[in-house]
Amino acid sequence: MRPRLLKRLLAVVVTVLLGPVLIRPEAAHAYTPYNTNYKDGYEQLVWTQPAYNPAGAWARELYIDDPKKPGQPLHSPLKQPQDLFIDSNDQLYIADTGNNRIVHLNERGELVRILEVKESPLNKPQGLFVDTNGHIYIADTGNKRIVRLNKDGKLVREYKRPESKFLSASFKFDPVKLVVDKRGFLYIASLGGYQGLLQLDPEGNFQGFFGANATSFSVIDMFKRFIYSREMYQREISKLPGSIASVATDQDGLIYTVSSDVETQQIKKLNIAGLDQLGGKGEFAKPGEKTVFGEIAFSNFNRSVPVLTDLTVDRDGNMTAIDAKHKVVNQYDSSGNLLFFWWGDDSTVTTKLGMVKTPTAIANNSKNELFILDGENNLVQSFRLSEFGALVHKANHLTQEGKYEESEAPWAEVNRLNAYYTPAIAGLAKAAYKKGDYPRAQRLFAEAGHAQGYSDAFWQNRLFWFQKNFGMLMNAILIALLLLFVLRSWSRRAGWRAEWRSWKEQRGEYGLVRQLRHAFTILKHPIDGFGALRYERKGSFASSLILFVLALASYCVMRAGISFIYNPDVFLEINLLVVVVQFLVIWLVWVVSNYLISTIYRGEGRFRDVVYGSCYALFPLVLIGLPLTVISNVMTLNESAIFNFMHVGLFLWIGLLLFWKVQSMQNYSVGETTVNVALSALTMAVCGVLVFITIGLTKELTDFVYAVFQEVTIR
């Protein structure tokens, strides 16, 4: 009996100890000092399990032979290292910039050799590359050259500033990073070189610039060019493209660049022609939206610009980039879709395993392990894929190869581990689409925020519905037309139309219905229609209020009811109270601003006229907004041109009606109306600034009073 009793007691103890872990699998995860997150298709922050776990610190203790005491070890740590490279044999090479040398470690992190190139000493090397033959290329920044060593570390060749008539005399050759393709061509990133990567052939001849960034041109620049004189504009600082901070290559020979001083398209995947293959930011990018790489959290409602300084590409094509300013590691797949990003609190004095104080370079080995060079702590941190991260990589790789059905099982497991991880939901949606389960695919694509996938699945569902119900739909339309024809004939014979006309003639001349119908007159003849509002009393407070309420309701329906394809926010929590307040405030500020400007600017309209006209000008929201909302829910992205035309046309029509309202009611010319509208818009902007200043000062005053109150009560 005793052995059986002991076994039962042991089983109870094991159950108690392992129960929480079995119930909550995340409790079994190893502790990491950083947070791993993802941003879904709706730009919402989603927590995920760690994709990588800290594995160790390398190059922390380096010893060389003491030149003063041969045979004695001398501690020789890294000093301000700037670059890291891992070759095909998983050997690590570190550009030890502060010590003017290259440190070579084996795959276990053990020191192999120190390369100082004694026959031509290095000076502040900041970049390096090792080809498949073991040849080492060093960006010797301080000496303004590229050094090529053979696999034994012997100097073979120097590449200095090339001589070419096609190279500007103002170009400064300060190489900081480089890669070499399979042909032996060098692609060099020069410090501050806005022209792109300098391309040299194996003999060092200039071949051109490659993969330059585009020059940014903002609305403010356009405004300056429009109003500034030639002399004023020439005194402006020249607009130059952003320089390339680092460069990398993958197994297929594609060149990747990362730029730190640009706000969009920081990462580029360049083909042989130098064209970016990423285009938009993955599958969740909106049409026409510029790529923005680098994920950082909001802080006090201010979003800083990411500063990406280096990247690496693994064997699956996944790109991992480091943000030197915010200490964030960002990982994207081969199409630019975000997989993970992680960061942590590095404010402590002591060094934590996994926390990088100043990331200066990143690389990966054949096992997809990451190595991040810390320029402040002078060491290399290694990271190993977690079980969750490896599962995501496996599933995503199958999806990228088009093996959607094979990816379903690993994506389902990822979804089980984290039901909010969007790539898993999108992967399951693609698998369902591939199998022909379009209703499920549509639902999953919507959950993932994947507009293109949702549109494709909805197109299939719409097609099947039409194929199934086409006959019934046509019969219903024919019956409706026939009934309409019969009703019109019957009403004509029965005299209903004559009675209706007689009833309309007997109504009051300025009845409410006629005042509401005047909105259609304004749409057809806006100048005369707005004039009738003022001089012929074709409008009233009641009719204006009704039209305003209808317009407000239509706008709310549009915000909450337009299809997910064209309005992704529809799946988020839309606070209609906020929408109503925004609409009311903007309309009220417009009315007050326009009336004040008109009063100062010799206008003839009364405040009542401005109110009535501004209400009637919103009528297109009712006439077009509601039908557009309904139609959008049966449209796909293929019909986006129709939707965009109607949507833009709606608000353009309202703007024109407001313009004609001012012209007619204030008795202005076209030029005077333009000035009035511009000054009204400027007044609205000033009011907005004053409101924000008032809110800020009120908050500061409230905090001050509260602090004084606490000080008095505590003492």
User: In the chain, where does the domain assigned CATH 2.120.10.30 lie?
Assistant: 76-212+240-385
Please tell me the class of the 76-212+240-385 domain: mainly beta
Q: What is the pLDDT of residues 290-309, one digit of tens each?
A: 677 887 654 444 457 788 99
pLDDT at 702: 82
Place of tokens 């493209």: 241
Q: Where are the alpha helices (DSSP H) in 125-243?
A: 219-227, 230-234
pLDDT at 181 over 60: yes
pLDDT at 697: 81
Using an 8 Å Cβ cutoff, are 163 and 214 in contact?
Answer: no
Whole-angstrom Cα distance, residue 555 to residue 52?
A: 46
Res. 238 pLDDT band, cuts 50 70 90: low
Nearest to 135 by CA among 207, 206, 202: 202
Share of the chain above pLDDT 90, in %: 55
pLDDT at 362: 96
- Strand 186-190 versus strand 155-159 pairing type: unpaired
Using an 8 Å Cβ cutoff, are 199 and 187 in contact?
Answer: yes
pLDDT at 283: 72
Q: What is the pLDDT of residues 197-237, one digit of tens each?
A: 999 999 999 999 998 888 776 666 666 666 776 666 666 65
Please tell me the class of the 386-494 domain: mainly alpha
pLDDT at 604 over 50: yes
Whole-angstrom Cα distance, residue 229 to residue 350?
A: 57
Whole-angstrom Cα distance, residue 173 to residue 192?
A: 9
Which is higher by pLDDT, 249 or 515? Answer: 249
pLDDT at 512: 82
Res. 617 pLDDT band, cuts 50 70 90: very high
Q: Which CA distances in Å does 541 have to 301, 476, 527, 547, 665?
A: 41, 42, 20, 10, 17
pLDDT at 148 over 90: yes
pLDDT at 489 over 60: yes
Range with lowest mean pLDDT among 506-510, 522-526, 532-536, 625-629 = 506-510
Dihedral, CA of residue 170, residue 174, residue 176 and residue 178, to nearest 10: 70
Res. 49 pLDDT band, cuts 50 70 90: very high
pLDDT at 23 over 60: no
For all residues of the chain together, what is the average pLDDT?
Answer: 86
